[in-house]
Amino acid sequence: GYDEYFKDLNNDGLVSDMSSIIEIQAPRMKELGIIPDNMDMSVLNSKLSKLINALAYSESRNNNQAISSEGAIGYFQFLPNKI
């Protein structure tokens, strides 16, 4: 599940280092034209860390215990699968 992507969150819910995720996703982002082929990975790490932190703040105010009125949970307010 999502646990692999959250392992780099620090105690405040902020992404401290996304290099492991970026290393895996960068080739795909280049292939899809999301980032240029010559983009420096340290710049990409910095930009994506800021984006992920802003997203977590906007969704849950960095509260991993947050539960929305619709039942979405955690930092990024994912909806659990309904059976």
Spatial separation of the C-alpha atoms in residues 60 and 39, rounded to whole Å: 31
Local structure of 9: helix, strand or coil: strand
| pLDDT band with cut points at 50, 70 and 90 for residue 62 | confident
Q: Which residues of 38-76 are buried (b: 16+ CB within 10 A; e: fewer)?
A: eeeeeebbeebbeebbeebeebbeeeeebeeeeeeebbb
- With cut-offs at 50, 70 and 90, classify the pLDDT of residue 1: very low
